Structure 1
Amino acid sequence: MTNTTEKYSPEQVLEIFKEQHRLCSSLDPEADPWAEIKAEMTIREWRWARDLLGWKELSEFLNKEFRIEIPENVWYDKLEPAKKRKLIEVCTLIANHAKKDNYQPKKLFGQPCLKASVFLTIKKNLENKGINVSELRPSSSLTEYMDKYFSPVLEEITLTGTKPIDKIEILRIRKKGFWKIFNFLDWENSELLIGDIKTFRDLVEKIIIEKEKNKA
């Protein structure tokens, strides 16, 4: 696969945090769906808006999410004291270390295919996060994978820098609490709704459309 990587900008990282808040805050009763995620908000304000854990657990999560290895002491300096440190500092730190996928068309039956490149990259990234992707195909149900692996799947979608999902809704959810880093849910007796995107093929097509819009 002829996929390459490039750097994020701090502004692009901030947009990822905004999108994650937009999609997930309404799923967590401890989060604030009305909060505005902005560069100059404090880390404490960000954590309250997203219902995030303390600096150590948060730093471990961000390392895993962005596929980076920033030392604990460096994270501490950017996340504490939480009432003084700004979110833009975290965005800048991540931007200095993380790399985003820059999809190049993969040859399929002798023809360049951007869809294949996007799909295979997402599949590879999910596998690297410990997800069993042996049965994952373009025709696979996105909802079923999000039911099982909500956080890593949503991470990989938002890390593309696009906004392919209009809204995420949960029906018939049993209120037994939430994991506080990325709104991990107890999916038993619940139904996940993600709009008109049914399969990974639908997701890939929407990501490509969104990327073309961003170039315009």
Structure 2
Amino acid sequence: MTPEEILQIFIERHRLVSPLDPEADETIILSMYSTVDDWRDACDLLPWHGLAKALDDEFEMNATDEEWRSVLKPSYKRTLQDVCNFIGKKSKKGAIEPVKLFGKECLSAAVFKALKNNLSQRNIDTNDIAPSSEISPYIEKYLGEIITETTFLSKGKKVFDSFKPKLKKRGFWNYINIFDNDRYTYPTGGVKTFRDLTLKIVEAKTSE
């Protein structure tokens, strides 16, 4: 994966997540010249050590704390170019290759398999996920994980339009009950099932 593709992943995550996080700043435009401080403000990111661990796990890098510190600090000076170049050099996460079905190569089968595998690695029970499974229940429970894996597989190409939350229940109490974990649903546009999601990712990948 190139540094430019990695940057696009971060940009797309910012586009999707920042409107949902009151601590994030959706007005910031990320680029290779953005500092780590800019990136943190844009996306409400963890301090450097937590961020390093999350990135290291996601991109399968096995980098040391010292290496990450040199890339992420000082945060007012280090840039996304430093981060993306480092990930591009160290990442061991392999590209998706089409699998053979009935003697023909099938990219959609490979993407679906990779999506399930990646979600499973994030401790999500994927045993009941089939191509025809509705995606909404998983979005409601695992929005962050699905955004992370979808943007990775699509290399930051647009798959979802947005996630504008809607209250699932009407009434004043439901409006003010911010502690209800089952409070919101997230409309997904034309992406209704995991088959739809898979095909959108394939479309994004084949448009490279």
TM-score, structure 1 length as denominator? 0.84
- What is residue 80 of structure 2 aligned with on the other side? 87
- What is residue 172 of structure 2 aligned with on the other side? none
Kindly provide the amino acid, as one letter, of the partner of residue 203 in structure 2. Answer: I
1:65 lines up with 2:58 in the alignment: yes
Is contact 1:174–1:189 with CA below 8 Å preserved after alignment? Answer: no
1:43 lines up with 2:36 in the alignment: yes
- What is residue 204 of structure 2 aligned with on the other side? 210
Relative distance call for 1:194 and 1:74 in structure 2 (3 A) is same
Residue 23 of structure 1 aligns to a residue whose secondary structure is helix
What is the identity percentage for the equivalent residue pairs of Structure 1 and Structure 2?
37
Relative distance call for 1:24 and 1:92 in structure 2 (3 A) is same
1:163 lines up with 2:146 in the alignment: no
- What is residue 170 of structure 2 aligned with on the other side? none
2:27 corresponds to which of 11, 16, 34: 34
Relative distance call for 1:112 and 1:197 in structure 2 (3 A) is same
- Structure having the higher strand fraction is 1
Structure 2 residue runs of 5 or longer lacking an equivalent are: 168-174
Q: How does 1:1-216 map to 2 (within 5 A)?
A: 8-99=1-92, 101-160=94-153, 161=155, 162-172=157-167, 187-214=181-208
Partners of 2:177 and 2:162 lie apart in 1 by 20
Partners of 2:112 and 2:94 lie apart in 1 by 12
Residue 116 of structure 2 aligns to a residue whose secondary structure is helix
Residue 165 of structure 2 aligns to a residue whose secondary structure is strand
Partners of 2:18 and 2:177 lie apart in 1 by 15
Deviation digits for residues 159-187 of structure 1 (CA, Å, limit 9, x no counterpart):
1213211111112386859xxxxxxxx74
Q: What is the aligned residue count?
A: 199
TM-score, structure 2 length as denominator? 0.87
- What is residue 180 of structure 1 aligned with on the other side? none
Kindly provide the amino acid, as one letter, of the partner of residue 132 in structure 1. Answer: D
**Range that drifts further, 108-117 or 131-140:** 108-117
**Range that drifts further, 133-142 or 17-26:** 133-142
Cα RMSD over matched residues?
A: 2.0
Is contact 1:43–1:83 with CA below 8 Å preserved after alignment? Answer: yes
Structure 1 residue runs of 5 or longer lacking an equivalent are: 1-7, 178-185
